[in-house]
Structures are given as structure tokens and as C-alpha cells.
């Protein structure tokens, strides 16, 4: 899970405790006072004032909508509903981004304190019977398919939130949602605030690249001190030749947030179970899957077992080969542990496929990757990028505008890509303004933790492109008629597919040769890329089985009464799916942030990979850099955002329903 980026939904999931309301935008005309960006403020008072303004505008818009009289219409009632979503969604997601990125601690704290207040108001909106009644009364006759779908989806959200229940039940739901939001924030804060201080002797770093060793000199006490930031820990798993170094670092890393999050997570599970029961559902997994592509937890469980069966032969063969190999490197090894996987797989790839991760690394830097990704977007989608002259919250942050071929402004975005004290320590896309055609241009941000200078892992380039996929999806889909038709209302179990699809291009020589070059300026050799691709398949089935393990933890924590202990349940699910046993003494669920944001539906990563590979078949047929297929894809799949069912988007693009065959074939490939 450490390599798979959090999706775009983190903000949405916090704001939309009930219905998956659009992370939507403030209506520029109606809400001029929210137009000014507060992303760069250094004043906690300014955050508090903005928070109050969002809440006041939200309350006002809610009261006006509830008081509407006469026949309900799309033009009046639904538009007012959409504006309310924009006020709360955009107001909330901007403040949420500040809580994760402001260089000023007091500002982050003020923003963090505001998030549950806005979420709380969102819950009230999601439980407003008068609003539900107005929306229900809108005539559906004559609506086009997208409008009809959007209206129906909003009503489904309301029913899932319990709006048709009595007053006492609705009050209880409101209280539970508020508690759940607060517990979720605590869960995230405990992970984020656990910085880590892993003490190693300088000689423990044997095997790590020289640039890493140069950047990690011992302190006055004679020890090298590592934090839990990716650039500190990931290279250890990849390159540290001492097994004990890898074990110690992984054990520490997998105890982030623990023991603090043991009780926090238990109460999160308990409150969500209580919420599901209050709403008439057997458990939280049943509630949360009801509006997904997959439909119910049983289908999700069957899907996991299905993929597990397809992955098993390949994964077993990989493991046997890896163990035989590992014994030649370190004869004391009798069983492979998870902290051996990256290191031994790298060595094996280097030997068998002659792929050396350190050699590959020299062809990538952050700047080259960014240039290359922009170029790829130009080649595929005709995108043009120009610097956006706007204030930023840290000198390392850059700002950009994206135009289409005709010169139309598609959207704006920030890149906050390098580690910084107190900053969000994962990789994610954040919404700032949801685009609405003719009303406001979409704005987003990527927040990641890549090294600012020096070599960059190929896997990091892949993550960069993955997150960029979420960003362009948000921008291209930001031109619908209503904010609630944006990407954030697309089914969760589809939302990773476009990003996972894009990952394919960082394995394509014609794409890599446009930007990957070593410090001497020599482009990456075609033969090296061919070897990387040969080595790519090795360990792939194993890695997906690992993801199935995390998905099973997520599903099984939520598909029953939470009267079990967290650690044994975690270990049981990992043992059932993953090729590696749990590391004794580790408590990885305490830092498994998706257990809050994704709850039971972490399966979506595997599910949407299956979708991505199915979509990829259309590109493979035409040649993967064919701009005509890319343009069809942008128009048919990306631009509609959440205004259509994901099954329909897939059917429209492929000319047939979703099939899992491409994924199963990939898992069986050698
Ligand atoms: Zn993602």
C-alpha cells in the first residue's frame, strides 16, 4: 500500500460523510467573498474567517433551498442544490488542502479544526427532508440521459444517508457522522504526526546508492537518523543489502501511528457499524458498496477470490524462483519475508533481466519527469501547458494552466511535489475548485513527496503519472453543466482506472525516450527499456496478491460486527492472500490511511486495474500513442466525469461491457 497513491477521494470522503456530494465549487457570482484563494495565507485568523464565511453561506443557501415553494424544477431547485454543494464542497476542500500543505503549523491546525465543521453542515444537508422532497418533486420527463442520471444519483445518495427516516434517526445519523469525521481526522493526524526516528549505524546503509549515503550522514551521536518520509525509507527496501537493516526499517515503518491508532481505528469501525445498522443495513460494507459498480460485499469478496485464483500460479512460480535466488545471495534465508521482496526482486531482475534499478534511476529526475509527462499529455490529448502567474504557499510549489488544442482554458493546477516539514506525507490529487461550464474553471493540486533534485526511481515516475491522471480527469471533466456531475460523483470503484491506465505509458520506449536521459544527456537506451519490460512481469502476480490482502483487510474489517481484535484479523487476511507472512510485531493497519477514506472498498484498486487493462486493449489495437484513440477516450470516458454510470462509459468506449479477461491474462503472463 505504500506505493499505491491515495486517490482523489480523500477530501471528498471527508466532506461527504453521507452522500458522495461533489467536492464542488463556490458559485463565483453568488459567492464573491469565497473567490479569493486562501491557499497562501499565513494567518490562522484568516482561515477561521474563511471557515465562518463558508459555513454562513452554506447555511444561507440551505435555508433558501428548503424554503422554496411552488412546482420544483431542475432550473431552480436543482441549480440551487448544486450551488449549495459548490459552496460546501469547494469551501471545504480548499481548507482541507491548507490543512495538509501550509508551511505554518497554526494555519494547518486552524484548517484542520474547520474541516469537521463543514463536513457536519454537509451531513445536515444530506439529511434535510425538505431538500430531499424538493428534489424528489422535480419532473424527470424530458430530461436528457445525463441530467436524469445525475438527479437519480443525488436521490439515491439521500436515501443511503437515511433522509427518509424519522427525526430521531436522522438526528442520530447526524451525530454519528460528526463523530466519524472527527475520528477519521484523528486517525490521519496520528499517522502524519508520527515522523519517525529510525537510528542506524552508518555501516547499516551498505548497498544503498552513493547519493543516498551522501544525503544521510551520521548525526553528532554517530547514528544515521531516518524519518518515515518515502525518500528516506523506500531506497532502504530497494537497496539495503543487510537483511537486518531492511527488517528494522520495515518494522518501524509498519508501526507508524501505533499504538495511538489502535483504539482510534476500533472506534471508527464501531461507529460506522452503528451508522449502518441505524440506516437499516447489515454492516458498513453493505452500505458503502450499495452505489458502487460492484454492488455488494459478497461480489467484492468473490472478485478478490477470483483474482487470487488467477494470480496464484504465477505468484507461486515467482516466489519459488525468488527463494532459490535469495538463498544464493544470503544462505541463511529459509523463508522470504516482505522486507526481502523489493531488495531480492531488484537483484534478481538485475541478474536475470540485466535490469539494475540504480542504472535505471540515473535517467530520471523530477524535472525531467515533469517535462516528459507534460509532453505526453500534449502528444495524446493535444494539451498545452503555460505557467500560471499566481501566488504559491511555498517556494517549491509551481502553478500551471492547461489549454486544449483550440486554445480554450481547460483548468489550472498547482504542483507541490517535494517533502517539507509538516506536509502531507503521501501522494494525492486534491480538488480546489470544481469546474462548471460557463461558471468557473476547475482548479486542482498534486501533492507528493518526490526528491527535488538528483535521481528519481522509475516507480516514482509511475506514481507521478498516476496522480497526474487524476488531475487531468478532474480538469477535463470540469466542464459539465452542474458541479455535481464532476468526477467526484463518479463511482469510486471506477475512479482509479484512468490513472492506472496511464501508468502503461511509463513502460513505453517511444514515450520514455522523449524525456529520460542521464546526467550526460544520453537518452535512455531502447535495450534497457526492453529489459525493464521483461523484468516488469516478474513479481507482478505477487504484488497483486499483496493488494488483495489489503483489500481483504478493508472488506473484512467492515463486513461484520466489529467485535474482533484488529491484529489477528489483519494477519489472517494477509496470510490468506499475500505471498508474504505479516512481519511479527508490526501493526500496519495503524497507518493504513485508506481504512478511513476508503473504508471497505480498498478492493477498488484491483477492480479498477482490471478496468484499466480492459480499456488499454483499445489503445493496444491502434498503437498506444495514437492520438485518435486518445481523443475518443478523453471525450467518451474522461469528459463526462460523474454524469454517467461508469459501466456506460466503458460500454460506450469499448463497444461492449467490462471484461476481466485482460487482467487475468496479464496475471498469467510470464
Ligand atoms: Zn490514484
DSSP structure string for 29-72: TTTGGGTS--TT---HHHHHHHHHHHHHHHHHHHHHHHT--SS-
How many Å lie between the centroid of ligand 1 and the Cα of residue 462? 11
Q: Say what the pLDDT of residue 565 is.
A: 98
How many Å lie between the centroid of ligand 1 and the Cα of residue 448? 12
Nine cell digits for residue 169 = 434517526
Rounded Cα distance between 320 and 314, Å, is 10
How many Å lie between the centroid of ligand 1 and the Cα of residue 470? 7
Dihedral, CA of residue 662, residue 8, residue 374 and residue 498, to nearest 10: 20
Q: Say what the pLDDT of residue 670 is.
A: 63
Instruction: Judge whether residue 21 has pLDDT over 60.
Output: no
Contact at 8 Å (CB) between 21 and 89? yes
Rounded Cα distance between 658 and 533, Å, is 26
Please, which residues have CB within 8 angstroms of residue 537's CB and are 6 or more apart in sequence? 669, 670
Q: What is the pLDDT of residues 142-151, one digit of tens each?
A: 999 999 999 9
Contact at 8 Å (CB) between 412 and 387? no
How many Å lie between the centroid of ligand 1 and the Cα of residue 20? 17
Q: What is the pLDDT of residues 162-176, one digit of tens each?
A: 898 999 998 999 899
How many Å lie between the centroid of ligand 1 and the Cα of residue 25? 22
Rounded Cα distance between 519 and 242, Å, is 29
Residue 560 buriedness (CB in 10 A; 0-12 / 13-18 / 19+): middle
All structural domains of the chain with their residue ranges: 9-192, 195-253
In the chain, what are the helix, strand and coil shares in percent, each to the nearest 5? 60, 5, 35
Q: Say what the pLDDT of residue 31 is.
A: 52
How many Å lie between the centroid of ligand 1 and the Cα of residue 137? 37
How many Å lie between the centroid of ligand 1 and the Cα of residue 474? 12
* Continuous segment of H or E residues that includes residue 526: helix 526-536
**Average confidence score pLDDT of the chain:** 92
How many Å lie between the centroid of ligand 1 and the Cα of residue 443? 18
Rounded Cα distance between 157 and 331, Å, is 57
Instruction: Judge whether residue 10 has pLDDT over 60.
Output: no
Q: What is the pLDDT of residues 541-597, one digit of tens each?
A: 999 999 999 999 999 999 999 999 999 999 999 999 999 999 999 999 999 999 999
How many Å lie between the centroid of ligand 1 and the Cα of residue 10? 10
Q: Say what the pLDDT of residue 121 is.
A: 94
DSSP per-residue string spanning 440-481: B--EEEEE----SSS---HHHHHHHHHHHHHHHHHHHTTTSS
Contact at 8 Å (CB) between 405 and 377? no
| pLDDT confidence bin for 15, thresholds 50/70/90 | very low
Contact at 8 Å (CB) between 106 and 41? no
Nine cell digits for residue 399 = 502553478
Instruction: Judge whether residue 534 has pLDDT over 90.
Output: no
Locus of grid cell 508520527: 194
Alpha helices in 330-486 (DSSP H): 338-352, 357-361, 366-381, 458-476
Dihedral, CA of residue 232, residue 237, residue 239 and residue 244, to nearest 10: 100
Q: In the predicted model, what is the mean pLDDT of residues 84-96?
A: 95
How many Å lie between the centroid of ligand 1 and the Cα of residue 531? 27
| pLDDT confidence bin for 353, thresholds 50/70/90 | confident
Please give the CATH topology (third level) of the domain spanning 9-192: Glutathione S-transferase Yfyf (Class Pi); Chain A, domain 2 (1.20.1050)
Q: Say what the pLDDT of residue 364 is.
A: 97
Instruction: Judge whether residue 277 has pLDDT over 60.
Output: yes
How many Å lie between the centroid of ligand 1 and the Cα of residue 496? 5
Range in 241-255, 276-290, 382-396, 534-548 the model is least confident about: 534-548
| pLDDT confidence bin for 356, thresholds 50/70/90 | confident
Handedness of CA 643, 82, 160, 114 (dihedral sign): positive
Residue 70 buriedness (CB in 10 A; 0-12 / 13-18 / 19+): exposed
Q: Say what the pLDDT of residue 32 is.
A: 55
Q: What is the pLDDT of residues 452-465, one digit of tens each?
A: 999 999 999 999 99
Greater model confidence, 34 or 79: 79
Q: Say what the pLDDT of residue 33 is.
A: 58
Q: Say what the pLDDT of residue 1 is.
A: 27
Residues within 5 Å of ion ligand 1 by Cβ? 5, 7, 496, 499
Rounded Cα distance between 434 and 475, Å, is 8
Q: What is the pLDDT of residues 612-633, one digit of tens each?
A: 999 999 999 999 999 999 999 9
| pLDDT confidence bin for 20, thresholds 50/70/90 | very low
DSSP per-residue string spanning 527-552: HHHHHHHHHHSTTHHHHHHHHHHHHH
How many Å lie between the centroid of ligand 1 and the Cα of residue 608? 10
**Angle, helix 338-352 to helix 297-329, in steps of 10 degrees:** 60
Greater model confidence, 537 or 449: 449
DSSP state of 482: S
Question: Left, alpha or beta for 231 (phi > 0: left; psi -120 to 50: alpha)?
Answer: alpha
What share of the chain has pLDDT > 90, as a percent?
85
Tell me the sheet residues that pair with 445.
414, 430
Instruction: Judge whether residue 35 has pLDDT over 90.
Output: no
Contact at 8 Å (CB) between 287 and 296? no
Q: What is the pLDDT of residues 403-444, one digit of tens each?
A: 999 999 999 999 999 999 999 988 999 999 999 999 999 999
Nine cell digits for residue 238 = 530497494
Q: How many CB atoms lie within 10 A of CB 282?
A: 15
Contact at 8 Å (CB) between 99 and 165? no
* Continuous segment of H or E residues that includes residue 275: helix 260-278
Rounded Cα distance between 9 and 15, Å, is 10
How many Å lie between the centroid of ligand 1 and the Cα of residue 60? 35
Contact at 8 Å (CB) between 94 and 111? no
Residue 277 buriedness (CB in 10 A; 0-12 / 13-18 / 19+): middle
How many Å lie between the centroid of ligand 1 and the Cα of residue 500? 7
Task: Count H helices and E strands in the chain, helices first.
Answer: 28, 7
Q: In the predicted model, what is the mean pLDDT of residues 127-145?
A: 94
Q: Say what the pLDDT of residue 24 is.
A: 32
Locus of grid cell 513527496: 449
Q: In the predicted model, what is the mean pLDDT of residues 41-68?
A: 96
Rounded Cα distance between 587 and 589, Å, is 6
Instruction: Judge whether residue 511 has pLDDT over 60.
Output: yes
How many Å lie between the centroid of ligand 1 and the Cα of residue 163? 31
How many Å lie between the centroid of ligand 1 and the Cα of residue 396? 23
How many Å lie between the centroid of ligand 1 and the Cα of residue 487? 13
DSSP state of 436: B
The torsion angles phi and psi of 401, rounded to 5 degrees, stand at -120, 140
Rounded Cα distance between 375 and 515, Å, is 9
Nine cell digits for residue 530 = 526492453
Q: What is the pTM of this model?
A: 0.84
**Angle, helix 458-476 to helix 366-381, in steps of 10 degrees:** 40
Residue 311, helix vs strand vs coil: helix
Instruction: Judge whether residue 467 has pLDDT over 80.
Output: yes
Amino acid at each position: 500500500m505504500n506505493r499505491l497513491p491515495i486517490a482523489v477521494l480523500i477530501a471528498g470522503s471527508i466532506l461527504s460523510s453521507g452522500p458522495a456530494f461533489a467536492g464542488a465549487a463556490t458559485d463565483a457570482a453568488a459567492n464573491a467573498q469565497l473567490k479569493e484563494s486562501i491557499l497562501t495565507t499565513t494567518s490562522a485568523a484568516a482561515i477561521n474567517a474563511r471557515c465562518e464565511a463558508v459555513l454562513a453561506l452554506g447555511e444561507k443557501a440551505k435555508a433558501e433551498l428548503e424554503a422554496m415553494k411552488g412546482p420544483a424544477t431542475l432550473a431552480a431547485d436543482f441549480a440551487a442544490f448544486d450551488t449549495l454543494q459548490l459552496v460546501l464542497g469547494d469551501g471545504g476542500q480548499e481548507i482541507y488542502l491548507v490543512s495538509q500543505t501550509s508551511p505554518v503549523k497554526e494555519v494547518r491546525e486552524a484548517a484542520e479544526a474547520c474541516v469537521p465543521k463543514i463536513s457536519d453542515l454537509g451531513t445536515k444537508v444530506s439529511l434535510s427532508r425538505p431538500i430531499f422532497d424538493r428534489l424528489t418533486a422535480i419532473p424527470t420527463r424530458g430530461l436528457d440521459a445525463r441530467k436524469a442520471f445525475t438527479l437519480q444519483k443525488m436521490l439515491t445518495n439521500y436515501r443511503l444517508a437515511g433522509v427518509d427516516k424519522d427525526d430521531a434517526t436522522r438526528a442520530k445519523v447526524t451525530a454519528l457522522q460528526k463523530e466519524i469525521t472527527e475520528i477519521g481526522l484523528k486517525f490521519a493526524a496520528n499517522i502524519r504526526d508520527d515522523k519517525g526516528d529510525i537510528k542506524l549505524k552508518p555501516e547499516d546503509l551498505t548497498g544503498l546508492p552513493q547519493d543516498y549515503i551522501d544525503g544521510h550522514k551520521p548525526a553528532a551521536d554517530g547514528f544515521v537518523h531516518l524519518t518515515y518520509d518515502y525518500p528516506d525509507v523506500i531506497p532502504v527496501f530497494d537497496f539495503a543489502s543487510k537483511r537486518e537493516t531492511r527488517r528494522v526499517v520495515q518494522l518501524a515503518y509498519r508501526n507508524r501511528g501505533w499504538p495511538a491508532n489502535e483504539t482510534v481505528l476500533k472506534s471508527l469501525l464501531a461507529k460506522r457499524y452503528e451508522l449502518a445498522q441505524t440506516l437499516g443495513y447489515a454492516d458498513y460494507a453493505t452500505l458503502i458498496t450499495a452505489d458502487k459498480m460492484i454492488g455488494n460485499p459478497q461480489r467484492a469478496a468473490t472478485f478478490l477470490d477470483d483474482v487470487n485464483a488467477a494470480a496464484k500460479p504465477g505468484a507461486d512460480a515467482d516466489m519459488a524462483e525468488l527463494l532459490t535466488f535469495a538463498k544464493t545471495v544470503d544462505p541463511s534465508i529459509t523463508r522470504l519475508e516482505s522486507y526481502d521482496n523489493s531488495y531480492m526482486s531488484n537483484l534478481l531482475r538485475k541478474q536475470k533481466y540485466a535490469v539494475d534499478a540504480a542504472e535505471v534511476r540515473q535517467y530520471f529526475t523530477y524535472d525531467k519527469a515533469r517535462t516528459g509527462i507534460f509532453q505526453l499529455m500534449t502528444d495524446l490529448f493535444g494539451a498545452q501547458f503555460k505557467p500560471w502567474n499566481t501566488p504559491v504557499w511555498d517556494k517549491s510549489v509551481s502553478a500551471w494552466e492547461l489549454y486544449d488544442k483550440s486554445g480554450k482554458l481547460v483548468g489550472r493546477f498547482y504542483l507541490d511535489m517535494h517533502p517539507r516539514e509538516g506536509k502531507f506525507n503521501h501522494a494525492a490529487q486534491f480538488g480546489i475548485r470544481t469546474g462548471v461550464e460557463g461558471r468557473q474553471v476547475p482548479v486542482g493540486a498534486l501533492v507528493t513527496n518526490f526528491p527535488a533534485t538528483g535521481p528519481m526511481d522509475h516507480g516514482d515516475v509511475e506514481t507521478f503519472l498516476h496522480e497526474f491522471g487524476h488531475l487531468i480527469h478532474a480538469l477535463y471533466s470540469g466542464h459539465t453543466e452542474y458541479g455535481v456531475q464532476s468526477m467526484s460523483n463518479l463511482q469510486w470503484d471506477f475512479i482509479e482506472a484512468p490513472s492506472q491506465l496511464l501508468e502503461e505509458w511509463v513502460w513505453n520506449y517511444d514515450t520514455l525516450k522523449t524525456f529520460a536521459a542521464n546526467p550526460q544527456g544520453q537518452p535512455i537506451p531502447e535495450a534497457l527499456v526492453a529489459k525493464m519490460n521483461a523484468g516488469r512481469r516478474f513479481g507482478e502476480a505477487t504484488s497483486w496478491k499483496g493488494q488483495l490482502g489489503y483489500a481483504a483487510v478493508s472488506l473484512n474489517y467492515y463486513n461484520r460486527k466489529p467485535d474482533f481484535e484488529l491484529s489477528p484479523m489483519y494477519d489472517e487476511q494477509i496470510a490468506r492472500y499475500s505471498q508474504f507472512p505479516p512481519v511479527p510485531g508490526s501493526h500496519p493497519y495503524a497507518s493504513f490511511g485508506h481504512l478511513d477514506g476508503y473504508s471497505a472498498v480498498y478492493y477498488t484498486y484491483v477492480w479498477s486495474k482490471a478496468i484499466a487493462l480492459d480499456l488499454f486493449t483499445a489503445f493496444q489495437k491502434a498503437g498506444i500513442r495514437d492520438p485518435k484513440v486518445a481523443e475518443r477516450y478523453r471525450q467518451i470516458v474522461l469528459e463526462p466525469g460523474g454524469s454517467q454510470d461508469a459501466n456506460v462509459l466503458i460500454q460506450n468506449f469499448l463497444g461492449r461491457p467490462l471484461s476481466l479477461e485482460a487482467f487475468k491474462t496479464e496475471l498469467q503472463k510470464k
